[in-house]
Structure 1
Amino acid sequence: MSDGPFDGRLKETPSQTAGPYVHIGTAPQSIGRPALPNQPGPVAFEGTGAVTVEGIVYDGAGEPVRDAMIEFWGADPDGRVGRNGLFGRTTSDFRTGVYRFRTARPGPLKAGTAPYIAILIFARGINLHLATRLYFPENRAQIDADPDLRRVSPSGRASLTAVKASDGEADYRFDIHLQGENETVFFDV
C-alpha cells in the first residue's frame, strides 16, 4: 500500500455546523413562516411563577451571534418534571442578537440542588450544541451549596447566574459568552 491519497484508509470528512439555515427547519416562525404543528416556541409556561428571560449570545470577539437558536428546558415551580418537561425553543433577533423566552421559574429537581433552566445553544460555526444552565440570583445559598456547582469556580458560577432585569419586558437577563474573558461555563452532557 502506498502512503498517497488513495492508500485505502478512510479519511475524516469535514464537520458540519448548524449552518445559516437552521431556523428554517427548527424555528420557522423566526423567518416569518408558520410554526409546524406541536413545534416548541418561545413560551413554555404562562401563569403564576412564569418568568421572561432575555439575553444575547456573544462570540469570542464580543459580537452578538444573530443566528443563534436556544432550546430551554426546566421543571415547574414545584420542581416537578412532567412527561415532556417545560421545553421551548427561541432564536436570536437577526438585527439585534437578543433572544427572549418565557417559562416557569423552576423549583429544585431534588433536595440540595439549586433550581435551574437547562439551555442548549445552536448556531452557525458550532459543530455540536453547547449546554449550559441558568440559575437565579435569589437562590445564591442553594447555588453555593449545590454539589454539581461546588466544582465550578465562583466566577464560573457567576457566569451561570442570571441578573434581575432593570427595565423592558424581561424579568431576568442572561447573556451567554461562547469564548473569551467572560466565557460562560458549559457542561459536557
Structure 2
Amino acid sequence: MSDLDESGATEHARHLQTPSQTVGPFFGYALPYEGGPEVAAPWNPEAIRFHGTVCDGAGEPVPDALLEIWGADARGRPIGERGSLHRDGHTVTGFGRAAVDRAGHYSFTTVRPGAPAPGRAPYLLVTVFARGLLHHLFTRAYFDDDPFLATVPEGRRDTLRAVRDGERSYRFDIRLQGDGETVFLDFIGDGRG
C-alpha cells in the first residue's frame, strides 16, 4: 500500500512549510479593507489619531508598507471577540489595518488604550509588513513609561514611545533599519510577550 494520497502527495509533502514572501507592492488589491484604519469611529469622544511614517534604513519613506494594530479598550480590557474586521460605526474593534500612502504615512482612528495592569503603561501592538521583509515585524507603541522600557537600551527607548502631537493625536514613526531603528520584538512561547 502506498503512502500517496489521491493528489499524489505524500503525508510528509502535504505538511512542508512554504517559503516566506514579501508583502509588496501587490498587496493593495487584497489586504486593505473598507474602514480598516477606523478602529474607533472618529466621532467617538475617546477617539485619537495614531499616525506616523515608515522609513527605510536611509531614512526614505517606504511607499508600500502595511500596518496592523491591536489594542485594549480605553479601560485596558482586551477587546477579545469584539476585535474583528467588522465595522459598524459604534464598536471599538481593537484591530485595525492601514496601508501607507506614497509618502510612507499611515493613520488610524482608535482609542488610547487603558493600562493593562497596575504599574503597567498602555500600549498598542504594531505589526509591520513591507517590501523586502520576508517576515513581518512586531513592535509596541507605549503611551507612558513602562517597566519594560527600562530593559531597552536608553538610546533606543524613544523608538517605542508614541509622542503626543495634538490634543487627540499621537505620532509613532517606524524606521526599519539603520540609525534610529525601531526596536522590534521577538515573541517566545505562547506569543503573548
Name the TM tier (shorter chain). Answer: 0.7 to 0.9
Which residue in the other structure is 1:18 paired with?
A: 23
Classify 1:24/1:64 alpha carbon distance in 2 versus 1 (closer, same or farther; 3 Å): same
CA distance in 2, matches of 1:84, 1:18: 27
**Which runs of no fewer than 5 residues in structure 2 stay unpaired?**
1-17, 84-93, 188-193
CA distance in 2, matches of 1:163, 1:149: 15
Q: Aligned partner of 2:123: which letter?
A: Y
**Contact 2:24–2:65, Cα closer than 8 Å, also in 1:** no
**Contact 2:24–2:64, Cα closer than 8 Å, also in 1:** no
Tell me the C-alpha RMSD between the 2 structures: 2.1
CA distance in 1, matches of 2:29, 2:185: 27
Which residue in the other structure is 2:150 paired with?
A: 150
CA distance in 2, matches of 1:162, 1:69: 18
**Contact 2:64–2:104, Cα closer than 8 Å, also in 1:** yes
Please give the TM-score of this superposition, normalised by the length of structure 1: 0.76
CA distance in 2, matches of 1:91, 1:25: 11
CA distance in 1, matches of 2:49, 2:166: 13
Matches within 5 A, 1:2-17: 15-17=20-22
3-state SS, counterpart of residue 165 of structure 1: strand
Q: CA deviation at 1:181?
A: 1.0
Q: Number of matched residues?
A: 158
Classify 1:112/1:67 alpha carbon distance in 2 versus 1 (closer, same or farther; 3 Å): same
Which residue in the other structure is 1:125 paired with?
A: 132
CA distance in 2, matches of 1:154, 1:26: 36
Q: CA deviation at 1:75?
A: 0.4
**Contact 1:27–1:41, Cα closer than 8 Å, also in 2:** yes
Matches within 5 A, 1:36-185: 41-46=36-41, 47-82=44-79, 83-85=81-83, 86-94=94-102, 96-136=103-143, 139-140=144-145, 143=146, 146=147, 148-165=148-165, 171-185=169-183
Q: Percent identity?
A: 46
Which residue in the other structure is 2:12 paired with?
A: none
Please give the TM-score of this superposition, normalised by the length of structure 2: 0.75
CA distance in 2, matches of 1:79, 1:188: 23
